[in-house]
Structure 1
Amino acid sequence: MSATQAYQGIRYDDPRVQAEFEQLLGRVVAAEQARTPIAQRHCKAERDAEEGAIMTRSFGRSTRPCHRG
């Protein structure tokens, strides 16, 4: 679930608080978008390692499963 979906519909009566909330939400969304390409590259590297395309010692196995959504 993205931040925009998770916090959709939240509104504050105080315009200053609402503006701060929207700025914070914008930063969270930007961070999610920046992280997406990194996660995709990581997943590809894990798949390549599983297929033997790269050596395990140069990649290093992760203990966390790759999200393949």
Structure 2
Amino acid sequence: MSISDLLPVVSRLSHAEKFRLVQVMLQQLAEDEGISVKTTADQPAPFDPRSFYGRGQATRERIDAYLNASRQGWER
């Protein structure tokens, strides 16, 4: 399957599903490259864009805290 075949399917996904697709793809790429991913009990919840935009707008501090917590699990 080529990218041109996938783009119409991906374009129909919701924003949350697109974010999840990117997460899955990055995880697969990390595994293929032999990059270890730490999994801990205090791992942040999966990204939910609705909590950052629209009705549930978050402060910049909350977004920065989420991004910092997300980066801690990735090592080369």
- TM-score, reference length from structure 1: 0.34
- The structure showing larger relative contact order (alpha-carbon pairs under 8 Å, at least 6 residues apart) is 2
TM-score by length of 2: 0.31
